[in-house]
Amino acid sequence: APTTLRIAEIFGPTIQGEGALIGEPTVFVRAGGCDYRCSWCDSLHAVDSRYRDTWAPMATDEIWQEVTRLSGGQPLTVSLSGGNPAIQNFAPLIALGKEAGYRFACETQGSISQPWFAALDTLVLSPKPPSSGHRVDWQKFDHCLLAARGCDQIVLKIVIFDDCDYDWAKAVAHRYPDLPLYLQPGNPEVDPETPVDLTAATERLHWLIEKVTADRWFVPRVLPQLHVLVWGNKRGV
């Protein structure tokens, strides 16, 4: 039997809602499983082992078939997300897709490195700030950067919940001055059943813009989570 991957969901095409590829038509492949347990994780259904039996064991061919079906065979960007997609081996999927002209992006916290990072078009490293409850292992993080050499676009994305996260993001930016940096306000509303408070969401963005500009820290781009503004916390969009 071929190796299978644990897949929480495959959905799209929709637009990428965050970071460097914001607005880009994308099919998402969400891997099941994560080595982290962030306090404010908005993807628990792809993290918590309680949801484990909802993760489909899929062979690379099956995943690729579903991506092709959703995209109607029209090349677009495929985003590997999670959970932490770096737990599993996406090399064969990337190879298949690239052959057909698809682009591949991956978002991971940077705790596990994979040789296939180098085959990506975009690697988003999203180190988790103090409010997550985790502490970044920078040696592992640097391994991810090393593994990604050859990847066209490597960017940092940091979620900011509070002043402490903000100061931490500045220190991270200082550590990696050559990596483009994207900041986004944290979203404390993660219940998929509760409609998002649009005013509160835009106020959090406002808060972060004010902080950056008052500080005259003109390095990061500041962006919201568009999908939250458009669809709330609904899954599969």
Kindly list the residues in this chain that would bind a second copy in the complex (CB under 8 A). Answer: 12-15, 22-25, 71-72, 74-77, 182, 198-199, 202, 205-206, 209, 212-213, 216-218, 220-224, 226, 229-231
Contact 88, 31 (CB under 8 A): yes
The piece of 12-20, 36-44, 144-152, 198-206 that touches ligand SF4 (CB under 6 A) is 36-44
79: helix, strand or coil:
strand
Q: Which is nearer to ligand SF4, 37 or 175 (CB)?
A: 37
User: Per-residue x/- mask for ligand SF4, residues 5 to 34, rule CB under 6 A?
Assistant: -----------------------------x
b (16+ CB within 10 A) / e for 158-197: bbbbeeebbebbbebbeebeeeebbbbbbbebeeeeeebe
- In angstroms, the CA 34 to CA 169 distance is 22
Q: With CB cut-offs between 5 and 8 Å by kind, which of a second copy, ligand SF4, none does residue 82 bind?
A: ligand SF4
Give the gyration radius of the chain's Cα atoms: 17
Q: How far is the CB of 128 from ligand SF4 (least distance, A)?
A: 6
Q: With CB cut-offs between 5 and 8 Å by kind, which of ligand SF4, a second copy, none does residue 88 bind?
A: none
Q: Which residue has the tokens 């902080």?
A: 211
37 contacts ligand SF4 (rule: CB under 6 A): yes
Q: With CB cut-offs between 5 and 8 Å by kind, which of ligand SF4, a second copy, none does residue 36 bind?
A: ligand SF4
- In angstroms, the CA 230 to CA 237 distance is 10
